[in-house]
Chain A
Amino acid sequence: MAAVYKVACRLGSGNVKCIFPRQSFYTHRKLYTSDSSVPPGGQGETEPQQPSAEKPKSGFAVAYELHTDLQQKQESTSSSRVGSTRDETSFASLLRHSPLVQMGPAKDKVVVGKIFHIVQDDLYVDFGGKFHCVCKRPSADGDKYQRGTRVRIRLDDLEMTSRFLGANTDTTLLEADGFLLGLVDTKAKA
């Protein structure tokens, strides 16, 4: 609970952090464009009314205004430069929508993994977590488990760690723990 709250706080603060750069970006834009005759943002809409009163703008000036308006619209919708609350490329957003986080606790979750290494009867399966999982080759359909085969795993733990007596930190086995359910097969699923 405490951990989720902490993450939620960080996510919240991350979102707040993302809003500020946008404001600073627009002020910078203002500084940049104050030298030229084109004002940024919302004033661009009132701009066309003014030159008709003062002086009609000729070819290049009109084209420049059009270009900056288009660029601003493009930048307000593009998510690459400015961080926004719905920005897919901000780390907090990527993390929140990642399958590993959406999965929740790893206990008893069924995932699909790929075998990337085989040592006789041991299958090393990578399911997208930090560590791989090592499972014994099952007796049924044993020959079908080769490198690159996709298999279903029921996870127990993402990383096998334990604190032993007298130790400062946990001892980690650098492996995940899971039970091999079988091959990923369209016939088996149906």
Chain B
Amino acid sequence: MSSMASGILTKVISGLRCPRFTAAALSCSGQAYSTAALPKAVVTPNDITVDSDKLLNVPLSQPDFFRVSELFSLKDLFDARVHLGHKKGCRHRLMEPYLFGSRLEVDVIDLEQTVEHLQLALNFTAHVAFRGGLILFVSRRRQFGHLVERTARECGEYAHTRYWQGGLLTNATIQYGPGVRLPDLVVFLSTLNNVFQPHTAIRDAAKMNIPTVGVVDTNCNPSLITYPVPANDDTPAAMELYCRLFKMTINRAKDKRKQLELLRGLGPAASK
């Protein structure tokens, strides 16, 4: 337990990008994600304000700036068996609007709705990654634990696929010391802890005002999740597809950020 906690601690502390006192102030005030201070500091503090604001507003100019709708198609989702749901008896009442129907007791998720929801979710993830946000992948499915951890490592973000201690988000300052940076986005690749309980992190993230993106299957509760994606979370093909999509969006957003920074970096230098 303690080794796990220390492992998580090193992960979180190594993700510190802003000075400790600002982070402490933010976490004490209850707001987990930084909006005032820029996490990735551009060269000198003097020319941060105007240039960084312009840089941050660049992706807001178009609805699909990162072109996430090009990353997947309905056919890709269908081939990865994203539309298959659980049996009718396992259905959660709040998932009924997302279902296409039920055939021979098996629920079928409406992929047209899934496409829209997935685009929204990926777009939001890209914007968070562009702004240097900390993304935490959570999944308690043991079958896909390694896949999720590998995905997080490959896009330079974080993952938590082990036992969720009660106070990880809500009691972070005491469990990990003051000045801990909490995630700015939590991505759930499976919202359930086991087949009976939803994951504690959904409730905790909602308590800490952290937006969540989650793949909700027909037996999950989509209420507290900010960007639910009604989709299958039990088939390896589907999980690999989501991991690949999230990894591609995050890498794309980060590359775009580096590219824009380089361009802006050349701008003021040339004028001087």
Contact = CB atoms under 8 A, between A and B. Distances in A.
Interface in A96-139: 98, 100-101, 104-106, 116, 126, 128-131
Contact of B104 (A91, A105, A116): A105
B164 interface: no
A159 B92 CA distance: 16
Contacts of A126: 236
B78 A7 contact: no
Given A170-B87, A170-B90, A6 B101 contact: yes
A128 B100 CA distance: 20
Interface string A71-99: 00000000000000000010110110010
Interface string A141-159: 0000000000000000011
Contacts of A170: 87, 89-90
Contacts of B84: 100, 129-130
B195 A172 contact: yes
B40 interface: no
A171 interface: yes
B167 to A, nearest CB: 29
A169 B197 CA distance: 12
Interface string B247-269: 00000000000000000000000
Given A129-B84, A170-B89, A3 B102 contact: yes
A161 interface: yes
Contacts of B105: 3
B219 interface: yes
Interface residues of B, number: 32
B74 interface: yes
Contacts of A159: 86-87, 106
Q: Is the interface of B mostly helix, strand, loop or mixed?
A: mixed
Interface residues of A, number: 31
B87 A95 contact: no
A116 B143 CA distance: 12
A158 B85 CA distance: 11
A91 B112 contact: yes
Nearest to A171: B195
Interface in B55-111: 73-75, 78, 81, 83-87, 89-92, 100-106, 108, 110-111
B149 interface: no
B106 A158 contact: yes
Interface of A: 3-4, 6-7, 10, 89, 91-92, 94-95, 98, 100-101, 104-106, 116, 126, 128-131, 158-159, 161, 163, 169-172, 174
Q: Which 9 pairs from chain A and chain B are nearest by CB?
A: A170-B89, A130-B84, A91-B111, A7-B101, A161-B87, A170-B90, A10-B101, A94-B78, A7-B103
25 contacts: A3-B104, A7-B102, A7-B103, A10-B100, A10-B101, A91-B74, A91-B83, A91-B111, A94-B74, A94-B75, A95-B78, A95-B83, A95-B100, A105-B104, A106-B104, A128-B81, A130-B232, A161-B89, A163-B89, A169-B91, A170-B89, A170-B90, A171-B196, A172-B90, A172-B195
